[in-house]
Structure formats: structure tokens, C-alpha cells
Amino acid sequence: MFRSFALLAAALTAGACVPVQARPLVELAVIDRDNGDWLPAWSWRGQQWIAGAPGHRYSVRLTNNTGQRVLVVLSVDGVNAVSGQTASPSQSGYVLDAWQSTEINGWRKSLDDVAQFVFTDLGDSYAARTGRPDNIGVIGAAVFQERQVYRPAPRPYPSPYPYPPYARAEDGAAKAESRAAGNAAPAAPAAERARESVAADSVAAQSIGTGHGAREWSPVSQTEFVRASRSPAQLVELRYDDYTSLVARGVVPRYRDPVYRPDTPRAFPDGFVADPPPRRW
């Protein structure tokens, strides 16, 4: 059993929704908090991209499209937004109730507050300042469904240890990685240099990252969540950069503003209803 304690996110909306089978378990969107815009996404080379405005605060909106609780492990620039660790799906995250939507406004500092997400220069990003620049420019989520756990009636004299001890998923993953590292053959110097070159080019191409902004009140509570599987049921990745960089890369197509000709029919040509012309008798 993969039992862990996670954060219960505050709900933005309440009430049941009509389930849509085509929808993913959880939808992820980014909102510019300084102007209130939902940032549109462009598809490019199999990835979804958004344009962030340097200096603007943003929030990550998570929407649970299912009738059961889910756990969302949120990663920003390759860093867990709750714990600050280099992100892994086995780590802690946010629990969303059935049909719940919530907005995550920043890096979790405590159960009461966060440090705001803000689009900033690459060198000023939290990941770069903590020595982890390789994954700047991506917001991701690992979604887990909840195992339906049978809970027997409480005993007359409850045990001081209500749950059996269990091995944490991250411990098993760390041991597996350690064994794999010990058995792996050393990489060739040329291959090592090639990987470093690719990583350097990737970092150089990125223009902005996510900074560690001002503190703000954002209370959550803790809850227990038992994962239905070791692997996430859904993985979401959303790439971002500033608008100019996205145009230069070819993510945003270069096109002129549309020209509206007088002979083009429009559904809403004027603002209000005008008086009709006088009748001709």
C-alpha cells in the first residue's frame, strides 16, 4: 500500500458537474494574476506551450474532472511546489475532492502561506538559484487516483499503532536507483560531453523561469491519501517562455493582424440597436 500524507487543497467551486469521458482526470491551466487572463496554449512538436509575461505573478489552476478524490503532485521547473525537492511522482502533493477546482499560487512555505509564482529572468528563478537549472520552463503534474480502503469498525481498546508500518515509495525508488547506478557501465566521455552540450543549449534557449515571490496567505490542511497505484494515472506537462522567444522558436506562428473589410458580414457590427428609417408610404 502506498499511504502518504498530502495537502487538502482549498476548493474554488462546489457542486457536482456532469462527467465528460473525453476529459482527462485533471486539467491544468495557468492564469496571469496581474491581468486575470487565462494563458492560451499552442501545440508545437507534440508539446503544449504558453507565453508568460516577465514580472507577472501566475497561478496554476487544477480541476478534478472525476467524482472521486485525486492526488496531484505539482512540479514547477523540475521542483516539487510543496516540498522544494527535485520533483518525483512519489512525493507529496495536493488532494482535490470530487469535481473540485483550486488555484495554486506559489511555492508552499507552510500550511498557511506560499511564496508567489512569478515569471522572472532565468537567473533569478528559484530552480537556478538553488542549483537546478536543467528543467526550467516546464510546469507538470502527476495525478494519482485513490485506493478504496476498507476501514473496519473501531476496536473497544484501540491500538496505539492504528496503521502497520510501511515502506515509503521514495525509499524503494532510491534503492532501485542506487542499484542501477552501481550496475551501470560508466558513460563514454564523448557521450557525457554530448549530454552536457544538449543541456547547456536547452538552458541557453530558455528566457524566463519561475521566481520565489512575496509571501501570501494560502491555508491548506493535511489529509491521508492511499494511492491506487505506484505509477501516476496521468502525467501533464506544460512548457512556457516569454512571447518573443516563442515567436522566435516557431511555437507562435508569425501572422499579420486580420483585416476586416466593409463587405465582411459580422454578427455584432454595432454596440446598440439604432432607430429604423422612417416608413415609406
Domain count of the fold of the chain: 1
pLDDT digits 0-9 by tens, 221-261: 999 999 999 999 999 999 999 999 999 999 998 764 444 44
Domain containing 44: what range?
A: 2-149+207-249
Query: Which among 60, 198, 196, 52 has a CA at the least distance from the CA of 125?
Result: 52
Residue 33 lies inside a defined structural domain of this protein: yes
Q: Is residue 113 part of a domain?
A: yes
- The answer to whether the CB of 206 falls within 8 A of the CB of 122 is yes
For residue 12, tell me if it sits in a domain.
yes
Q: How far apart, in whole angstroms, are the C-alpha atoms of residue 227 and residue 231?
A: 9
Res. 148 pLDDT band, cuts 50 70 90 = confident
| 195 occurs within a structural domain | no
When pLDDT is averaged across residues 140-155 and rounded to a whole number, the result is 82
**In a 10 Å sphere around its CB, with 0-12 CB exposed, 13-18 middle and 19+ buried, how is residue 255 labelled?**
exposed
For 185-211, the pLDDT digits (tens) are 444 454 454 444 444 444 448 999 999
User: Does residue 48 fall inside a structural domain?
Assistant: yes
Assess if residue 172 is contained within a domain: no
